[in-house]
Chains A and B, each alone.
Chain A
């Protein structure tokens, strides 16, 4: 089974934070790490841990928001993965506070893959290892796939009307994820940003919510917005 199928099987149709937790649990099993967490760096006020493989993972992850430095924050800023093979390495000084604090918690290896929603780097999948060591090629590419999938629970979290979406049997966040990256959906997202004076991620959430509510595909809704047959109301 391809890695994305294994991850999808682990998520088993769950949504929101529950999906994020399951994705993290699957990462621990599949990529030989000891803990995993998904965190969101949106606008300063909205940062935090969305899902985790368990309490320790949540602790490792939340610590970076407390001290203001760490793998998730760096991977969003750099728009690239952050890979620390051994925090105990003398030359490894990138986090003067977070690094020693993690060593106290017995964590040596830290890896973060950025999560992208609506073209924006909004968070990261953080992986933690007790033993130092590199992610091998397959673990690395698997983690990239997991980070790609993590976009769906992040979108859920941004959607205030998640329950309506989750109870709609027609809605499938996971098959949706592909159509949400199509050109017309991005273009319509841009139009909504101008029309409603909102940010792109919120615009994408609004577009998707309208598709759920009307039982149509995101692509169809996007086309109607582009052709000015449909206008979404401001809140």
Chain B
């Protein structure tokens, strides 16, 4: 089977993502899709966007994976690892072979190797002269990012910045509230995953996939559905039953 050349796939991805930006879109959903595109185009096993909150702590906004172990790995990077270094310096960080980096990040490296990753990379996300966070990439095989890879990653990271900041031209004053709002959306999505885990007795991974599929099928934003689940007490049982019904149609 022949695959179209990578240039074509990159352009395809960019066009489709920018199309989404021109419509009404959901920021967590779109950023999750961006991480999926990253993984495909860059041949990495996992990718995630870590964004800084106002206290300069990196927080995970979206990732290719909802696996607890891999999420943990992204979160660990709030303290040490390529993403936090990339965020601090504003420069890309690339580790072709993690086994050589044990001294640099004594907690992150063993955890990443354990999870089956051998290469990690991070590219910065910037707007209005501020570094907002980093796109982290995890490879299952050792290897450098080529210049072309880095350009692709940087392009997708720029699209993510635009998605987060789309409402207004970015200035330091507008960037932070919008970042906070995106991070608050993610908190609500995580809560909704927990709520669905409990109510429908599914894993948190499946809860996310279900929430996303249900929202898309109903032409709604995932964060709006999540917000209704979490903040509208009266709507909660109705939405939970609708999602349960969506998961296992009765007829």
Interface residues of A (CB under 8 A from B): 2, 4, 79-81, 113-114, 116, 118-121, 135, 137, 140-141, 144-145, 147-149, 177-178, 181-184, 186-195, 199-200, 226
Contact = CB atoms under 8 A, between A and B. Distances in A.
A140 B171 CA distance: 11
A194 to B, nearest CB: 4
B233 A187 contact: no
B57 interface: yes
- Would you call the interface of chain A mostly helix, strand, loop, or mixed? helix
B185 A190 contact: no
Contacts of A137: 171-173
A141 B180 contact: no
A137 B172 CA distance: 7
B137 interface: no
B53 interface: yes
A72 to B, nearest CB: 15
A199 B233 contact: yes
26 contacts: A2-B56, A4-B56, A80-B181, A119-B187, A120-B188, A135-B173, A137-B171, A181-B53, A181-B59, A181-B187, A183-B60, A183-B71, A183-B190, A184-B71, A186-B188, A186-B194, A187-B194, A189-B194, A190-B190, A190-B192, A190-B197, A190-B198, A191-B197, A194-B198, A194-B240, A200-B231
Contact of A120 (B59, B71, B231): B231
A82 B199 CA distance: 37
B195 A119 contact: no
A60 to B, nearest CB: 22
Interface string B41-81: 00000000000011111011000000010010001001000
A79 B183 CA distance: 12
- Would you call the interface of chain B mostly helix, strand, loop, or mixed? helix
Interface string B176-193: 110011011111101111
B193 A190 contact: yes
Shortest beta-carbon contacts, A-B, top 6: A190-B194, A119-B187, A186-B190, A187-B194, A190-B191, A194-B198
Contacts of A145: 54-55
A189 B194 CA distance: 7
Contacts of B192: 190
A181 B197 CA distance: 19
A95 to B, nearest CB: 20
Contacts of B177: 80-81, 113-114, 144
B173 A119 contact: no
B230 interface: yes
Nearest to B176: A144
Contacts of A135: 173
Given A190-B230, A199-B233, 13 more contacts: A119-B185, A119-B186, A149-B55, A183-B190, A186-B188, A186-B190, A186-B191, A190-B195, A191-B195, A193-B194, A193-B195, A194-B240, A226-B204
B188 A119 contact: yes
B196 interface: yes
A81 B199 CA distance: 35
B184 A226 contact: no
B215 to A, nearest CB: 16
Contacts of B193: 186-187, 190
A184 B199 CA distance: 17
Nearest to B130: A141
A148 B198 contact: no
B190 A187 contact: yes
